[in-house]
Structure 1
């Protein structure tokens, strides 16, 4: 299997034609849809739009867009050109967003209008070629070259400011651009021929141990083969109806929802707004959903909702849970209430994003296991000296195969530390493997906190706390949480003249200013000192026990 996103879109358009690929407004009386053929054309339309702005193969396009058909089309359009899409959570704090945009060297940013406004209000917009709102809005950015600023009255045909050589369609919002190009039948015939399967398709930023995000470069082949492995393991067919429950900027959603539907010929039903368990169960019943996936907390709250009210979820065939370890009790409870099988997998962004998966068969699945390695990958479990451990013993999980990232963007030292010369990726997670090849996650080597599937690295949060002049020492650890898996808790030592009651609201304000909501400490514990090793290192494991 050696093909690109452009190859897949064309093949599925030819195979499935007018069959619905995307359905949205699913809570309305008349949901809207886009067929496989329509999706292929829409991707070509937006690719034409971007190409006219000067986007070429290898250029980086940041996509800070909420769950929407525009986001799915944008993935298709950027990869259609052989450019690189950089998905970014639109809920990041402006400071975090600005770092990713600058570090990625984005040529174009497509973002929710609220993101553009927030950046403008908090220090201005980073310099780049073009800013484009994901949906039509009264304020859009289409500036090139000079200091970017928001242009108004786009519907009146305002073009790029500052003498930009590129022209943009009227109403430079992405939705209006699609409409304009379609109405004028202006698909370019001279679009680039497409990328090689081994080239980078997307860069996904994952927090690093230094507190700064790292951009994992994933190839066309890596992401597409992972998506196909999911279809094969789950036995997916064109009858699959997948409900979107995850943020589309996350690697989990890209593979297990967006590509799962595209590669299987199934249909993806898009949700918008906040997660509401009763609404989700109602949508499963109304649209006869066959597949859902999510982090453990999603299945926990669905269990609670099913306790309070009965829903017809008999259409469900299988579910997939990942992003964090899931309690066996949660799986058993959901299966007992729905009659379906829940399978667990293991992966990380650097693995495109999957390394192992359970088969969805009662006689092959082992509760508590992350399944077996997906075809085309190898795994090893090694001790601290790098030697393979005997079957059943614990060690760090190493993975090699098509799914391993190409490296971290502009971070060769980090790449060399993560990937051995012979291709083995260090996952940083402790596993054991049984005699039949099933993998079991035991612990994490890193201090990462996993909050509902999102990674939080303590040093990133600690660096914000240290901005307060009264903070002498600060350490952030994960505390067990029945819903989210873990929540961040801050241990803080203040200078002798400061009052904790006065300082805590100021620390909370700092975190609101600099961090996304899920990264902010849920509790602050003020201490006089920390448990330490003889050499003076703080014992985080003891803090976790106290948290």
Structure 2
């Protein structure tokens, strides 16, 4: 295990972390006891205290248990956008020692059928706008009870566009086993005292399926707690912190860094259901937001806002994220605007968010950071499995307290996704990285995304980082394209900055690229587009662009 990174560890922070034996649900109870009247959530003009939040969690848990019959370790599908109801549902499920199965709200009926069958799900709590996607499954699958909520039930005066207006209440097609949220919370049932354990399975989030069918990742309270507490300490999140929540809660980064860590700390969450750069800036100014964890595409959009200088961002203390490397040029733009350095992290669904953080006092741009508390991270040769030296490319493997218990019902994949080194089990991430002599890790790309151009390995992320240095480029996504001579060649989809639209041609960027990177790397094909397809968490769907090439 390389320990060079300890030289750059944040001052006055222990290098190891004792994980509490308490559960994620306990975190909410403890924070409520400590800060009963403190605001837990600001949501479009409405404020909810910790006491109010816990009371509604208890009421919903009672309904799920006594009315619907949800049992311990029963899997419950959570299918909605960011909202107070999401967190109320999340903790109510955990209150029963049942299992949260969080699903991307962009999922289709076919997607949902897979998840329901894979986990044998009988119960779901959903956002009203997703009703049509899930209701066909009631007769075709094990799903038989659905609680439906409209976000307008909790939004206040700042819901300026009336985005969350309910419609289902007037729908005569509502099935008998579909329950309205307000009806579920109108009944109070007494349930047994909570006796949850650290090894109870708490969540089964699904991987995005970038390397095949989605796989459920089994996470007990223990692994989730490791990153919840670790994130609070690393980001210096206290009860007086005010994080802005913009990443989706179904995604592990948004859940851990913008919800569970703040609740464990007793912080106040400023929650957004949908990304809107102007509204985000207004909320930062209105509430004095201190922390914002995002994704690079979200920050790029935020900084390109022509109205940016009209907002005060002086309250921000911590800004960072993961999911994709932040282009160096964007990081410098952020520093010029706010005086803050963006610090990136790295993680996976299998590790319930981060395994790596950049030290706040010494971050490096376009860098995954250094291993988090008690994480043993190594780089191994793709062919031999042996460790490689500094600056050599290889696959990242990790061992740590946040690593999942395994894929749900995927024994064969559990075997191939792990490797033993020095008597320890390491998870194989499938990400190609390199480590410098100081112990910082740098992403090169996904193993599956590599371009083989005339036998030369080209990593799209590296090419994208260089393209961002061109003054005309707002966003870039690099994919492979078929080539008769080279087998594959490099193609770049580019979104131009507004001032350059119609004033620059594709060939000009190709010529510029020749002087910036090796001959086998520079893009032979450039295509200007107005937008990229993205996931709801903001990741660019490069496979969709690949299919167009």
Q: TM-score range by the shorter chain?
A: 0.7 to 0.9
Aligned to 2:427: 425
Q: Could you tell me how far apart the structure 2 residues matched to 1:448 and 1:116 are?
A: 39
Aligned to 1:9: 28
* Cα gap change, 1:71 to 1:272, in 2 (>3 Å): same
- Secondary structure of the 2:216 match is strand
* Cα gap change, 1:394 to 1:153, in 2 (>3 Å): closer
Q: Could you tell me how far apart the structure 2 residues matched to 1:78 and 1:448 are?
A: 41
* Cα gap change, 1:401 to 1:292, in 2 (>3 Å): same
Aligned to 2:404: 405
**Superposed CA offset, 1:52-81 (max 9, x none):** 211111100001111110001111111111
Aligned pairs for 1:291-370 (under 5 A) are 291-305=291-305, 309-361=309-361, 364-370=362-368
Q: Could you tell me how far apart the structure 2 residues matched to 1:487 and 1:307 are?
A: 30
Aligned to 2:439: 437
Aligned to 2:62: 48
Structure 2 gaps of 5+ residues are: 1-19, 154-165, 452-459, 469-473, 484-532
Equivalent residue for 1:78, pick from 93, 105, 115 = 93
**Superposed CA offset, 1:203-234 (max 9, x none):** 11113456311111112111122021111111
Q: Could you tell me how far apart the structure 1 residues matched to 2:386 and 2:101 are?
A: 36
- CA positional deviation for 1:7: 1.6
1:297–1:485: 8 Å Cα contact kept in structure 2? no
- CA positional deviation for 1:38: 2.0
1:64–1:90: 8 Å Cα contact kept in structure 2? yes
- CA positional deviation for 1:114: 2.9
Aligned to 1:244: 245
**Superposed CA offset, 1:55-114 (max 9, x none):** 111100001111110001111111111111011112112211221122121121111233
Equivalent residue for 1:486, pick from 462, 477, 480 = 477
Structure 1 gaps of 5+ residues are: 26-30, 141-149, 161-170, 450-476, 493-510, 526-546
2:81–2:127: 8 Å Cα contact kept in structure 1? yes
Q: What is the total number of aligned residue pairs between the two structures?
A: 442
- CA positional deviation for 1:251: 0.8
- CA positional deviation for 1:489: 8.3
Aligned to 1:388: 387
**Superposed CA offset, 1:235-293 (max 9, x none):** 111111111111111111110101121022111111133x2212211221122111111
2:39–2:268: 8 Å Cα contact kept in structure 1? yes
- Secondary structure of the 2:269 match is strand
Q: Could you tell me how far apart the structure 1 residues matched to 2:373 and 2:52 are?
A: 32
- Secondary structure of the 1:206 match is coil
Q: What value does the CA root-mean-square deviation take over the aligned residues?
A: 3.2
2:101–2:205: 8 Å Cα contact kept in structure 1? yes
Q: Could you tell me how far apart the structure 1 residues matched to 2:540 and 2:168 are?
A: 28
Q: Could you tell me how far apart the structure 2 residues matched to 1:245 and 1:427 are?
A: 26
1:306–1:337: 8 Å Cα contact kept in structure 2? no
Aligned pairs for 1:45-444 (under 5 A) are 45-52=59-66, 53-120=68-135, 126-135=141-150, 139=168, 160=177, 172-178=179-185, 180-181=186-187, 186-190=188-192, 193-208=194-209, 211-273=212-274, 275-305=275-305, 309-361=309-361, 364-384=362-382, 385-420=384-419, 422-444=424-446
2:79–2:124: 8 Å Cα contact kept in structure 1? yes
- CA positional deviation for 1:124: 6.1
